[in-house]
Chain A
């Protein structure tokens, strides 16, 4: 973990005094392949924590170690203060919702949801009540007697959720919970999932490759790459204050430029950006020294496009080489004299005909950004 303090603390991601789940220096090797490399995370009680990364980044392996399907090669996992080393999957206070849902094909919806309860010490009446309660929670009461192949994909997803929640686990693991749903259903289900988490108060760890899903669902998230955690923070921290080039580039779109530190004064730094053709001002990050090479990054929506040179802030001049009209906003590709191409997103707040818009092909424009919008990346 290389999280450095964000320049502007939105919400601290420093360790809680007593984290609910502690992943302590965990590594997992399959032969010579390092699936997970020295990961340490602390997850609070009742939060939705997302593990975000591309395929093969180790997020699923980490989840399977939490569930008890894989043993860490190194390191330890604590859940609610209890060391999970050597505790088999069936004895952990953890339940998992599988990506394939893994419903039992030969059992009805009701039997699926109630399956985990047969190992709990409770009366038949209590068991029945719990199943009914769970089916109500996911709004599937009328499908109780159907088999999994007799219900739709979205309903199967909810059965899987109800089954995983039925034992009231301390921690619920969700492996790509929405990946198998179509786009419309996914948006709806996202909010439903958050609502259910709110009602039950269960701690959720969600594995996803979908950055939007992670942003919307999670309170905090860890961005993973090649088995390592690259940054941990709230969605805002991750998006607005990435600490390294990988995280900045993985989440959303962004413009990168090579830069060199010229001077530092207070919390502002002057950096020389050759491709922008001059000096830019950016908010400093800790540990900068003059002459240091780093990356300047600006998100497209932070670049304001105008015909006249703006009075204040960083400004770069260029020619519009491409325009993409999305309706609610437009994407401008602007070629700078250095040959670099910057993307700028501009909201179409006013209704305007094509000719009346701020810029079009081959127009000379200024791109302007505030020093606070410029991100300096040393990693």
Chain B
């Protein structure tokens, strides 16, 4: 009679195992003392020590962080502006077209985006050289521009959906009380959508940090990001120091997600409690 829950629980367990056993085994093997990544040879933290003395890895990590910070910030600013325009400026000419243009990269295969961006950069670089004799190289700037382009789409989508749920009357009320449109934006709209802006930024940061495909098209000599480095190392075989690097990444990302979740749920719970108290007080 209790068969259903047992069946469901085992499916759940299997699903979770499928997700997390690979990650757990990677973490375990990052503490492996052996040279082979998949054979246990005792506990050791030597791969971590090796990782932190590896300039190539540190340099790649620093480049990735710089690109992610810059592209996430720019994409958030532009994406917020686009999201507001799409959600609030009602009937402007070419709105549907603009909306399509912004969301198209969401479904565009990354390889296509990568190739087209590469061609675009080559064209620009040729033009700059022909016009000003200015020799340019692909690297930080081109990768950042490419990352802005695709993370912009995600930020726009988040902002747009947040604004669609928000009561437009709140903005009208501010205008009714004497605020000009830019003041309404500053006092009302931006504070209300600030959680969406923050999550948009985090998403843009994350997808920039772990992008391989588009980065590999737009990078140049000497500009190796962390995911590209891992990718190229793995081609020579999985070594324990890659495990260590991946473990650190998982920990950093996991910690961020946990902190964000705790903060958000705490704020939510406090709001519910306040609301309950208010109703009880007024009965």
Tell me, yes or no, whether A binds B.
yes
Name the one of A146, A150, A151, A167 contacting B178, with C-beta atoms under 8 angstroms: A167
- Contacting pair A119 B169 (CB below 8 A): no
Closest to B282 in A: A152
Do A90 and B178 form a contact, CB below 8 Å, given A147-B274, A152-B278? Answer: yes
Name the one of B167, B271, B277 contacting A102, with C-beta atoms under 8 angstroms: B167
CA distance A326 to B179 in the complex (A): 52
Name the one of A102, A154, A155 contacting B173, with C-beta atoms under 8 angstroms: A102
- Contacting pair B167 A167 (CB below 8 A): no
A104 lies within 8 A of chain B by Cβ: yes
- Contacting pair A95 B170 (CB below 8 A): no
Residues of the A chain whose Cβ atoms lie less than 8 Å from the Cβ of B179: 90, 115, 119
B55 lies within 8 A of chain A by Cβ: no
B192 lies within 8 A of chain A by Cβ: yes
CA distance A115 to B178 in the complex (A): 9
Residues of the B chain whose Cβ atoms lie less than 8 Å from the Cβ of A67: 172, 176
A96 lies within 8 A of chain B by Cβ: yes
- Contacting pair B172 A98 (CB below 8 A): yes
Do A146 and B188 form a contact, CB below 8 Å, given A89-B172, A98-B169, A102-B173? Answer: no
A191 lies within 8 A of chain B by Cβ: no
- Contacting pair A150 B278 (CB below 8 A): yes
Residues of the A chain whose Cβ atoms lie less than 8 Å from the Cβ of B271: 149
A116 lies within 8 A of chain B by Cβ: yes
Do A90 and B169 form a contact, CB below 8 Å, given A149-B271, A150-B274, A154-B282? Answer: no
Residues of the B chain whose Cβ atoms lie less than 8 Å from the Cβ of A106: 191-192
Residues of the B chain whose Cβ atoms lie less than 8 Å from the Cβ of A149: 271, 274-275, 278
What is the CB-to-nearest-CB distance from A217 to chain B, in angstroms, rounded to a whole number?
Answer: 21
A105 lies within 8 A of chain B by Cβ: yes
Closest to A146 in B: B278
Q: Which residues 296-321 in A have Cβ within 8 Å of B in the complex? A: none
A163 lies within 8 A of chain B by Cβ: yes
Closest to A114 in B: B177
- Contacting pair B170 A90 (CB below 8 A): no
What is the CB-to-nearest-CB distance from A327 to chain B, in angstroms, rounded to a whole number?
Answer: 28
Residues of the B chain whose Cβ atoms lie less than 8 Å from the Cβ of A68: 176
Residues of the A chain whose Cβ atoms lie less than 8 Å from the Cβ of B275: 149-150
Do A116 and B178 form a contact, CB below 8 Å, given A100-B169, A102-B169, A149-B271? Answer: yes
What is the CB-to-nearest-CB distance from B178 to chain A, in angstroms, rounded to a whole number?
Answer: 4
- Contacting pair A89 B176 (CB below 8 A): yes
Residues of the B chain whose Cβ atoms lie less than 8 Å from the Cβ of A91: 178
Q: Which residues 58-107 in A have Cβ within 8 Å of B in the complex? A: 67-69, 88-91, 94-96, 98-100, 102-106
What is the CB-to-nearest-CB distance from B267 to chain A, in angstroms, rounded to a whole number?
Answer: 11
What is the CB-to-nearest-CB distance from B161 to chain A, in angstroms, rounded to a whole number?
Answer: 18
What is the CB-to-nearest-CB distance from B51 to chain A, in angstroms, rounded to a whole number?
Answer: 44
- Contacting pair B278 A151 (CB below 8 A): yes
CA distance A116 to B191 in the complex (A): 17
What is the CB-to-nearest-CB distance from A335 to chain B, in angstroms, rounded to a whole number?
Answer: 48
Against A, the Cβ 8 Å flags (1 = close, 0 = not) of B266-282 are 00000100110111011
Name the one of B174, B175, B178 contacting A104, with C-beta atoms under 8 angstroms: B174
Residues of the A chain whose Cβ atoms lie less than 8 Å from the Cβ of B282: 151-152, 154-155
CA distance A286 to B45 in the complex (A): 103
Q: Which residues 107-121 in A have Cβ within 8 Å of B in the complex? A: 115-116, 119-120
B3 lies within 8 A of chain A by Cβ: no
- Contacting pair A152 B167 (CB below 8 A): no
Q: Which 5 A-B pairs have the closest CB atoms?
A: A116-B177, A119-B178, A152-B282, A102-B169, A102-B173
Which B residues have a C-beta under 8 Å from some C-beta of A? 167, 169-170, 172-180, 187-188, 191-192, 271, 274-275, 277-279, 281-282
23 CB < 8 A contacts A-B: A67-B172, A69-B175, A69-B176, A88-B175, A94-B176, A95-B177, A96-B172, A98-B169, A99-B169, A102-B170, A102-B172, A102-B173, A103-B170, A103-B173, A104-B187, A104-B188, A106-B192, A120-B178, A150-B274, A151-B282, A152-B282, A154-B282, A163-B177
In the complex, besides A89-B176, A149-B271, A150-B277, 5 extra interface pairs with C-beta distance below 8 angstroms are A90-B176, A96-B176, A115-B187, A147-B274, A152-B282
